[in-house]
Every structure is written in structure tokens, then in C-alpha cells.
A and B are shown apart, each in its own frame.
Chain A
Amino acid sequence: DIQMTQSSPSLSASVGDRVTITCRASQSISSYLDWYQHNPGKAPKLLIYAASSLQSGVPSRFSGSGSGTDFTLTISSLQPEDFATYYCQQSYSTPLTFGGGTKVEIK
């Protein structure tokens, strides 16, 4: 199985901050990497697919980058509705695997 590692389980930030969340794969996954936003009690929401493609309807303050083993999700200016947990997920091979999540909390 490909292991996905999000090194920061949580981070604290303020509204307006630029936030960067990292994800590392245990082997190269090319650009087969997606990012999801999850709020408690709600369905996870797809933000970014194929490492850098913005899902329709997702604000442009979200962006993704990376390829191979190292990936980044960036929120350019954090908004109140962005406080949530973010997961990366590899779609390179089965079983599909997720990172452990990074919770973005209010500073």
C-alpha cells in the first residue's frame, strides 16, 4: 500500500493568513493526488484533483502543487469557513489511501 503522510496533524492560523499544508507519498504517485476538506458531521468536499486542478465551484484561494512524492495545498487568504480538516488522497493505485489529515484551527 502507498502510505500518505501529512506531517502536521494540526496548525493554527488567523483569518487572512496564507496557509500551506504538505503531504508526502511513500513512493512516486506522479500527479495522482487529490485534496479534500472535511468539517465534522458533513460530507468531505473535493477541492483539488490531479495535484493542481481546482474542482468546479471551489474558491480560487485554494491551490495545489507538486508531483512525484511531495505535494502542497495552499490557501492564499484563510477565510472563516476554511477552518476544517484537510486530507490528501492518492489515486495512483489501489487500495486508495488517505493522509492522516491536517486540522486548521483558529489562532
Chain B
Amino acid sequence: QVQLQESGPGLVKPSQTLSLTCTVSGGSIISDTYYWSWIRQPAGKGLECIGRISTSGSTIYNPSLKSRVTISVDTSKSQFSLKLSSVTAADTAVYYCASWEIAARYFDYWGQGTLVTVSS
């Protein structure tokens, strides 16, 4: 069974870049079955899809964040990463990584989530 684990700093200063990594275990990150995705949830709010990447490197980003987001994949480490630039307090959220099952069109595996706070 695929397992996902987020890692990265829990505190980021305003205007800086948020960087998170998701490590995939229990299965191969090199897969035609999945897109590897980032989702976030600000406190007291709903879930928001940030974007996703295939193992070939093809990306789709949420237009609301597109100018600030970069998602990349490192198949040698079984990891994919999120960078969000020019962060503000509005980017404070729990960030999840998840696998998007391409054919079935659902998120079947999720990480536990990691809280990132933007504050000086």
C-alpha cells in the first residue's frame, strides 16, 4: 500500500518561499497510474487543490496560485516537492500530499498533513 509523508519547515517568514517534500513509499513513484498532488487546508476553511505532477514532469496548477507555485519530482528519491513563493499569512495552512488515481479520478492515498505557519 502506498504511503505518503510530508516534510519541511513548519514556520516560514512572510515574502519567503515555502518548501515541502513528499516521500512516497510502499509503491513506485514512477507510475502511469498516478499524478502526485498537493492540497492545502487553511484553518477553519475547506480543502484547496494546489496542483499536481506526473512522473514525466507534466504539471497542472490551480490558476489562483499558478504564478507562485512550482511542483517538481525526483524519482531517484521517490519524492515530489512543492515550492510556494512570496508567501503571506493567507498561506498558513495544513498542507497535504496525495496520489491522484488517473483512470478512476480520485485521491486514494494521502499524507497525514503538515502545518505551515507564515509569520515573522
Give the interface size class of chain A: 20 to 34
Q: Which A residues fall within an 8 A CB radius of B?
A: 1, 32, 34, 36, 41-46, 49-50, 55, 87, 89, 91, 94-101
Contacts of B109 on A, CB cut-off 8 Å? 43
Contacts of B108 on A, CB cut-off 8 Å? 46, 55
Cβ of B80 under 8 Å from chain A: no
Q: Measured between alpha carbons, how far is A41 from B113 in the docked complex, in Å?
A: 7
- On whether A87 and B105 interact (CB within 8 A), knowing A42-B112, A94-B60, the answer reads no
A32 to chain B, nearest CB (A): 6
Closest chain B residue, CB of each to CB of A92: B105
Q: Measured between alpha carbons, how far is A43 from B96 in the docked complex, in Å?
A: 8
Q: Using a Cβ cutoff of 8 Å, how many contacts connect chains A and B?
A: 56
Q: Which B residues fall within an 8 A CB radius of A?
A: 45-49, 60, 62-64, 96, 98, 104-113
Contacts of A34 on B, CB cut-off 8 Å? 105-107
Partner of B46, one of A94, A95, A100: A100
Most buried by A among B64, B104, B106: B106
On whether the beta carbons of A87 and B46 are closer than 8 Å, the reply is yes
Most buried by A among B48, B107, B109, B112: B107
B45 to chain A, nearest CB (A): 8
On whether the beta carbons of A36 and B107 are closer than 8 Å, the reply is yes
A41-B112, A87-B46, A97-B49 given; name 19 further pairs at CB < 8 Å. A1-B63, A34-B107, A36-B107, A42-B112, A43-B96, A43-B109, A43-B111, A43-B112, A43-B113, A44-B98, A45-B110, A49-B104, A50-B105, A89-B106, A91-B105, A98-B46, A98-B48, A101-B46, A101-B47
Partner of B106, one of A41, A49, A97, A101: A49
Q: Measured between alpha carbons, how far is A1 from B64 in the docked complex, in Å?
A: 10
Partner of A89, one of B45, B47, B60: B47
